Amino acid sequence: MTRFSDALSSASAHLIAGRLAGWAVVAATALLAACSYVYTVEALFIDGKLSFVSEEVNETGSPYCLTSFKVSDAAGSAVWEFDAYDLYKSATKCGPNFPLRYGQAPQGAVTVTPAKPLKADELYTIEGNAGNALQGSFRYQVKRITTVENLDMKSPEVRAAQQRGWDRQRADRDRPISHF
């Protein structure tokens, strides 16, 4: 017959083991997050066309293949997005990833959101994946000569626009699908 004190110490051991396992998961997640890197993407005009470049990720092999890319407005709505994961999920060679012209997804990529016209003086954020996260932001400016202004990713305006985009993604993901 099991004594109460034996059962109590066994329950405590299970509780401690469960808590240690939970902390191990938290520590592993933090360690993995610390290893990830964010590549900066900048907007500029090449031959009169809005393009995106990154000097940090021009590898031409796995795992640095450009698998997703999205440009969103300040409200968090995608104005251009493509997904190329299926194209490169088992590829050993790809790229070069950049320059990337606005509205022209790589051949074989799936266009999720066709390119929409950009609005003057509007803030836009860039996110994607090429082995690690891609991020950038710019303000589309129409002057006698059209230019873009790359913005500091840490500015409150950019962070708020990113958050709205993430909130919109969560809302879209959690929205029930209706069948008519």
CB 81 within 8 A of CB 111: yes
pLDDT tens digits for 17-75? 555 555 444 444 444 444 578 999 999 999 989 999 998 877 776 777 888 999 999 99
Residues 51 and 3 in one domain: no
> Which CATH number belongs to the domain containing residue 154 in this structure?
2.60.40
- Structure pTM? 0.65
- Hey, which residues does 39 pair with through a beta bridge? 134
Q: Residue 32: CA atoms inside 13 Å, Cβ hemisphere, count?
A: 7
Residues 70 and 102 in one domain: yes
CA–chain centroid gap for 5, Å, is 52
Structural domain of 106 = 38-174
